[in-house]
Amino acid sequence: MNLALTILFDGLTYAAWLFIVALGLTLVFGVLKILNIAHGSFYAVGAYAGASLVAWLVSLKVSPLLSVGALVLAAAGVAALLAPLTERGLLRMFYRRDEVLLVLVTYALFLVLEDATKLLWGVHPYYASDTYQAFGNLQLGPLNYAGYDLLLVGVAVVAGVAAWWVLNRTRQGKIVTAVIHNAEIAASMGVNVSRVYTGAFVVGVFLAALGGALTAPMISVQPGLSVGVIIVSFAVVIIGGLGSIEGAALGALVVGLARAASVHLWPAAELFSIYIVMAVILVFRPEGVFQRVQARKI
């Protein structure tokens, strides 16, 4: 019983930050129809920015509990700086081109950002563990868990509900949905499609950076961080269905629980288990559990 609970809680914790990252990835694909390989780099930049800001606040004797807000601000800063520059200055030039070319462009951007993070932050690891330790431990039945892990789960739930509510219950969400279904008709009805693309990309980058910033207190932030994240994030959106919020949530849960079960039962197959689950699901649902919405670009 204890083992099952441990797998469940570990799986939820892993799924929480992964869902935040995958939510941004699936949003960008749903609106812009771009498989953004550089998404992992935005995660890494968010992690570095968050860890650096927390370290600076700790040096000023600011309470670590307040540093959670600083992590969110760091993610917002990354999105405000990099997202418009990337979408308007680079990706917009390739919207009418072949989708494979867009993938190659984002891969090139991934390589550039990888080197840029090394130039800015060096190759030594950064730590923000003060924030993680500040939330203490909570007793969940027979198990003792870090309070920060539960906070991360709560943030993931809020992010998912907020994204669903905005897309389905607000005027701005209806406009985005119209662009997803047919950008040409939306433009003919007076929708500023370019602005929608920029806004969606900013939100996607923010979610990637937020996932990185919020996981910074749990890990050592070091070069190579983005590679593993983008691979697992793609597994999540492929399982759930590209462009689907519900699919991203389900995919993150499946990946999180599969990884947690493997870590506790068969550690050597930690990464392998994720792709076994993905392969089994794709045999029966080639488009993912939730079929993606097809988008048309102008």
- Residue 134 burial (10 A CB sphere; 0-12, 13-18, 19+): middle
Q: Which of 266, 208, 196 is nearest to 232 (CA)?
A: 208
CA 208, CA 205: separation in Å to the nearest integer? 5
Q: Each residue of 178-216: pLDDT tens digit?
A: 998 888 899 998 999 999 999 999 999 999 999 999 999
Mean pLDDT of 55-66: 87
pLDDT of residue 292: 53
CA 91, CA 84: separation in Å to the nearest integer? 10
Please report which confidence band the pLDDT of residue 291 belongs to, taking 50, 70 and 90 as the band edges.
low
CA 28, CA 47: separation in Å to the nearest integer? 20
pLDDT of residue 40: 96
Q: From the CB of residue 283, how many other CB atoms can be counted at a distance below 10 Å?
A: 8
Amino acid at 149: D
Q: Each residue of 80-91: pLDDT tens digit?
A: 999 999 999 999
**Residues ≥6 apart with Cβ < 8 Å to 104:** none
pTM of the model: 0.93
Please report which confidence band the pLDDT of residue 297 belongs to, taking 50, 70 and 90 as the band edges.
very low
DSSP 90: T
Q: Does residue 296 have a pLDDT over 70?
A: no
| C-alpha distance from residue 244 to each of 85, 87, 270, 288, 294 (Å) | 26, 21, 26, 10, 11
Q: Each residue of 161-180: pLDDT tens digit?
A: 999 999 999 999 999 999 98
* CA atoms 237, 242, 248, 250: torsion sign: negative
Q: Does residue 3 have a pLDDT over 70?
A: yes
